[in-house]
Structure 1
Amino acid sequence: MIYLCRHGQTEWNREGRLQGRTESDLTALGRLQAAAMADLLFDLVAREPAATWTLVASPLRRARMTAEAIGRRLGLPLAFDERLLEIDVGEWSGRLRDEVRGENSHLAGDDAWGFHAPGGETYEGMMARIADWLADQAPEPERRLIVVSHGVAGRLLRGAYASLSREETLAQDVPQDALYRLSAGQIDRLDCEPIEEPAC
């Protein structure tokens, strides 16, 4: 079983910027989302000894901060794996998403538009590293993983797990207030308790 989480909201998420491999800190809402994921996971795994679970995350700061909140709540050490990194968006990193899309109208309607960034990562290359990570994990039903990654990386991990087509993989949601359970060939979305955005 894998419980897959996306990091909480970041400053650049809020501004609509493409992050890729660039660092951006969690917002106050993002920290609350991380805590809510930690609470939900605690409820889900409390019936099993903590030692049976492994917590692993992308090394990018936003994923690390989210995973650290989960680790504190569950009493788990945290490991990192670079194969869980977010897509590299090359020269588009840090740019406003709407601005990039406006300049590249020929990519309108293409769910894979982010993979066209100059100097960025291809779908095939990213899927290969995500699938490589998945292949290295213990088989089901022995697998007991809590994974903290990113929007695009999470889509591809779910796609690799369920053998989804490219189109199905890229059409998946990427919530920051829910997590996914990957078990017995099924993918289930589990929503956190609703959170109100803190006042500035």
Structure 2
Amino acid sequence: MIYLVRHGQTAFNAEGRLQGHVDSPLTELGRAQAAQAGAALKRLTGGGEGWRIISSPLGRARDTAEAIRAALGTPDLEIDARLIELSWGDWDGGLRADLKARHPEAFGETGWAFTAPIGEAYDAAQARLRDWLSTLPPEPERRIIAVSHGVAGRLLRGVYAGLSKPETLAQQVPQDACFRLSGGAIERLAY
């Protein structure tokens, strides 16, 4: 089983900026969301004993994972670069509305640009997340809490459940809920 958590709200989220590999701090709301995630996961995992917490290396995910680790009393936090957010390349940190106005063709029907200058392609991001999944213990021994990002989390769920690209990109990316990935199914769990 995997509990997949998106980091709490950041300053860039509140401003409508693409973050990618650029980091911004959690807002007050984001810190509260991280604390709520910790409380919910403590309840969902029966206290967290025997669970591994694995986070993206970016600060916003690490800060969220640390709040979860503290709530569970788990001694260790693992960092795995394969859980990092998709890079938007030259567009990292840019205002989404400005970029969409200047490059409407790049955002397409889904609203997500996978053609940003020197950005990470959909297939490459999907491959690294598939690789991460392949290194985990098989179900039912798998007891993982993964802290990642909006687009990376969508892609991870899509790989896990064998979704098409449109289905993958249509998934929600809440910061007030996590997803349980178990038995090939995905279940949203509000905090």
Interval of TM-score (by shorter of Structure 1 and Structure 2): over 0.9
In the alignment, is the contact (CA less than 8 A) between 2:6 and 2:61 conserved in 1?
yes
Instruction: Report matched runs for 1:15-164 at 5 Å.
Output: 15-46=15-46, 50=49, 52-76=50-74, 77-107=76-106, 109-111=108-110, 113-164=112-163
Q: Distance in 1 between matches of 2:149 and 2:116?
A: 18
Once the two structures are superposed, what CA deviation does each residue of 1:73-98 show, in whole Å capped at 9, x if it has no partner?
10111000000000010010111001
Runs of 4+ in 1 over 4 A off after TM superposition: none
Q: How far is the alpha carbon of 1:107 from its aligned partner?
A: 3.5
> 1:7 is aligned with what amino acid?
H
In the alignment, is the contact (CA less than 8 A) between 2:25 and 2:60 conserved in 1?
yes
Aligned pair count reads 190
> 1:115 is aligned with what amino acid?
F
Paired-residue identity, %: 55
- Counterpart in 2 of 1:177? 176
Q: 3-state DSSP class of the match of 2:110?
A: coil
Q: 3-state DSSP class of the match of 2:147?
A: strand
**Which segments of 5 or more consecutive residues in structure 2 lack a partner in the other structure?**
none
Q: How far is the alpha carbon of 1:114 from its aligned partner?
A: 2.0
Q: Give TM-score scaled by structure 1 length.
A: 0.92
Q: Give TM-score scaled by structure 2 length.
A: 0.97
In the alignment, is the contact (CA less than 8 A) between 1:85 and 1:153 conserved in 2?
yes
Q: How far is the alpha carbon of 1:112 from its aligned partner?
A: 6.3
Q: How far is the alpha carbon of 1:110 from its aligned partner?
A: 2.8
- Counterpart in 2 of 1:197? none
Q: 3-state DSSP class of the match of 1:116?
A: coil
Q: Could you say what the CA RMSD is over the residues aligned between the two structures, in angstroms?
A: 1.1
**Which segments of 5 or more consecutive residues in structure 1 lack a partner in the other structure?**
193-200
In the alignment, is the contact (CA less than 8 A) between 1:112 and 1:170 conserved in 2?
no
Q: Distance in 2 between matches of 1:106 and 1:147?
A: 33
- Counterpart in 2 of 1:196? none
Once the two structures are superposed, what CA deviation does each residue of 1:38-64 show, in whole Å capped at 9, x if it has no partner?
0100111126x61x2100000100000
In the alignment, is the contact (CA less than 8 A) between 2:7 and 2:148 conserved in 1?
yes
Q: How far is the alpha carbon of 1:108 from its aligned partner?
A: 5.1
Q: 3-state DSSP class of the match of 2:32?
A: helix
